[in-house]
């Protein structure tokens, strides 16, 4: 299926006075949800390439045993900064960008609830990431103790330490404001006919993610503030000499950190649940169970944090509790995977690029989920802890899951945003290169981890040489393939295939979501009067 030119002509001449401001200032002062969504997405794409380049430095160094290109301190900075940039600069902002673009259009609202705050949260994000990036050029180098910032190691960071802490504060404030805005939009701005249980799942997952963010970002801000006062103001929260305990930091950090990983995966689930039914030409299987599963995962995320620290010397009761609670998460997650599969079952599927990425997500995310289940078993985790096995695990749940779904979302909505069709051939080439190389990149890391290769090291024993080389080759193919996506985004904005896309873009998509009832490209202002009819094919 593809674009069919719509016959009806709906040039809307009622809003000429409210068009975007002229020139560059448009992007700085804008309060329009579509403009801010675009800013977020562009910024995230840029950071995806920055963080990706850092990953390639890591993989280049690990191509062979021995020290080749960078010194160990810089290597450690790269692992730390790669994680921080990808989590706080790429994946989270990309989903906030999608939320900005799509949520008002999906629920029939004219804009976000608090448009000025929306602008501010974007620019604070830029400030936070720039401050983080500036630490690379400071005396003593960027933070190198891992993105978890564990004391006492992180307290040895040079001049960069307070800047890293303040950048976490800025990023936290930005996400909290974004989350408040999204929750207020969803709860207050829906079209009257859009009841909660008719909302598209992307909206549902973001509503829940918003609450997660509000609950956890302040806790992280508190933890890094304690680090700051420990270092400069003689407090002893984590300083053993003053009666503190470094393990306490790990508890506070992971109270934030575990829900944080769901902040990155729940909107992923939402987009997958939006795309798969359209290309399977069936309603989503088990809509309400999807909503409840999302809520259960969010709840469970708050009570399982210590499975990240099975090896710190917890009492047996603690190990058992966190082990069983963690295993419980497999149930709602299994419900989701089952529902996606059942949605595709006997559907009239077609395999355009968004669907290809979504199917790869279902398969590869499930693999990441299984290794997660393996590590939930406390006694076994003692072997996996801090090895490449955990690196393989969380990259499977983030790269071929969150990143793939972000790609799918790009392909899925770009025609609606720009009014142009992307080049399907290059899209599919991008998909196949990404899917094959991502497995060459991360699958061998399972073997390395099981064989005992520790994470965050610039050099390794020769027995790990072969799989590291294969993994690095996969990394370079994967990294270079992503330039195709950049090309497609630019090409589509500038006209794409030249084919004029219809309003619904994908066959019968207007039955699945309100955004497809709007013209393509979407006008600057939409749903100034709330729609009265709600498509229900997605539920």
Partner 1 sequence: MDQNIPQKNLKLARNLLIIAIAMFGFGYALVPIYDVLCEWKWIERDRPDAIKQAKEMAYEIDKEREVTVEFIASLNENTPMIFRAETQKLKVHPGEYHTVNFYAENKKDTDINARAIHSFSPAVVSSFVDTITCFCFDEQVFKPKEAKKLPVRFAVNPELPKQYQTITLSYTFFDNTEKSVKK
Q: Are 54 and 78 in contact (CB under 8 A)?
A: yes
Give the catalytic positions in this structure.
Answer: 82, 111, 147, 174-175, 258, 260, 262, 273, 307-308, 333, 336, 455
CB of 224 to partner 1, least distance (A): 10
| Beta carbon nearer to partner 1, 243 or 498 | 243
Residue 387, phi then psi, degrees to nearest 5: -110, 180
- Over 151-188, what HEC string results? CCHHHHCCCHHHHHHHHHHHHHHHHHHHHHHHHHHHHH
Q: Which two three-digit tokens encode residue 25?
A: 């200032």
| Beta carbon nearer to partner 1, 113 or 414 | 113
CB of 52 to partner 1, least distance (A): 32
Choose among 141, 126, 134, 143: nearest CA to 89: 126
| Beta carbon nearer to partner 1, 315 or 498 | 315
| Beta carbon nearer to partner 1, 180 or 426 | 180
CB of 306 to partner 1, least distance (A): 12
Q: Are 290 and 336 in contact (CB under 8 A)?
A: yes
Distance of CA 325 to the CA centre of its chain: 24
CB of 178 to partner 1, least distance (A): 11
Choose among 53, 7, 1: nearest CA to 478: 53
Distance of CA 308 to the CA centre of its chain: 20
DSSP state at residue 515 = G
| Beta carbon nearer to partner 1, 153 or 469 | 153
| CA dihedral over 401, 407, 411, 417, signed as positive or negative | positive
CB of 318 to partner 1, least distance (A): 7
CA distance 278 to 148: 39
Distance of CA 133 to the CA centre of its chain: 20
- Over 308-338, what HEC string results? HHHHHCCCHHHHHHHHHHHHHCHHHHHHHHH
CB of 188 to partner 1, least distance (A): 5
Q: Which residues contact 426 (CB under 8 A, 6 or more apart)?
A: 484, 487, 488, 491
Contact residues toward partner 1 (CB under 8 A) are: 110, 113-114, 117, 156, 176, 179-181, 183-184, 187-189, 214-223, 226, 234, 236-237, 239-243, 245, 248, 251-252, 255, 312-315, 317-318, 530
CA distance 221 to 255: 12
CB of 86 to partner 1, least distance (A): 24
By 3-state DSSP, what share of the chain in percent is helix, strand and coil, each rounded to 5? 70, 0, 30
| Beta carbon nearer to partner 1, 134 or 225 | 225
Q: Are 524 and 32 in contact (CB under 8 A)?
A: yes
| Beta carbon nearer to partner 1, 222 or 452 | 222
């Amino acid at each position: 299926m593809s674009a069919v030119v719509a016959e009806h002509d709906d040039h809307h001449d009622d809003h000429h006075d409210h068009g975007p401001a002229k020139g560059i200032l448009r992007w700085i002062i804008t309060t329009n949800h579509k403009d801010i969504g675009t800013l977020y997405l562009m910024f995230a794409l840029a950071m995806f390439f920055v963080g990706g380049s850092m990953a390639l430095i890591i993989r280049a160094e690990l191509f062979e045993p021995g020290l080749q290109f960078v010194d160990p301190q810089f290597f450690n900075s790269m692992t730390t900064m790669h994680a921080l940039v990808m989590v706080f600069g790429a994946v989270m902002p990309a989903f906030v960008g999608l939320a900005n673009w799509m949520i008002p259009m999906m629920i029939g609202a004219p804009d976000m609830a608090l448009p000025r705050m929306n602008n501010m949260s974007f620019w604070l994000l830029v400030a936070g990431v720039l401050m983080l990036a500036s630490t690379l050029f400071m005396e003593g180098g960027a933070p190198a103790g891992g993105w978890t910032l564990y004391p006492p190691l992180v307290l040895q960071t040079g001049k960069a330490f307070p800047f890293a802490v303040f950048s976490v504060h800025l990023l936290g404030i930005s996400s909290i404001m974004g989350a408040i805005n999204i929750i207020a939009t969803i709860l207050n701005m829906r079209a009257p006919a859009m009841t909660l249980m008719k909302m598209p799942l992307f909206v549902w997952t973001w509503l829940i993610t918003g609450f997660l963010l509000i609950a956890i970002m302040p806790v992280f801000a508190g933890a890094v503030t304690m680090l700051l006062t420990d270092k400069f103001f003689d407090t002893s929260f984590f300083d053993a000499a003053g009666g503190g305990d470094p393990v306490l930091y790990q508890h506070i950090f992971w109270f934030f950190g575990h829900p944080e990983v769901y902040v990155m995966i729940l909107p992923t689930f939402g987009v997958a649940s939006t795309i798969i039914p359209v290309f399977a030409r069936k309603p989503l299987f088990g809509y309400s169970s999807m909503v409840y599963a999302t809520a259960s995962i969010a709840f469970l995320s708050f009570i399982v944090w210590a499975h990240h620290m099975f090896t710190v010397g917890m009492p047996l009761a603690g190990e058992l509790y966190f082990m069983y609670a963690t295993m419980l998460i497999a149930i709602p997650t299994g419900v989701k995977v089952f529902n996606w599969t059942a949605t595709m079952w006997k559907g009239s599927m077609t395999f355009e690029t968004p669907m290809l990425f979504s199917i790869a997500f279902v398969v590869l995310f499930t693999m990441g989920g299984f290794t997660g289940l393996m590590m939930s078993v406390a006694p076994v985790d003692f072997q996996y802890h801090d090895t490449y096995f955990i690196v393989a695990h969380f990259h499977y749940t983030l790269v071929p899951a969150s990143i793939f779904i972000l790609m799918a979302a790009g392909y899925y909505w770009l025609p609606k945003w720009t009014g142009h069709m992307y080049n399907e051939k290059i899209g599919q080439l991008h998909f196949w290169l990404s899917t094959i190389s991502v497995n060459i990149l991360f699958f061998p890391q399972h073997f390395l981890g099981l064989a005992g290769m520790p994470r965050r090291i610039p050099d390794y024993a020769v027995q790990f040489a072969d799989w590291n080389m294969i993994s690095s080759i996969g990394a370079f193919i994967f990294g270079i393939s992503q330039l195709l996506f950049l090309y497609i985004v630019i090409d589509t904005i500038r006209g794409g295939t030249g084919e004029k896309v219809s309003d619904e873009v994908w066959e019968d998509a207007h039955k699945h979501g309100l955004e497809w009832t709007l013209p393509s490209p979407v006008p600057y202002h939409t749903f100034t009067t709330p729609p009265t009819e709600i498509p229900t094919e997605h539920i």
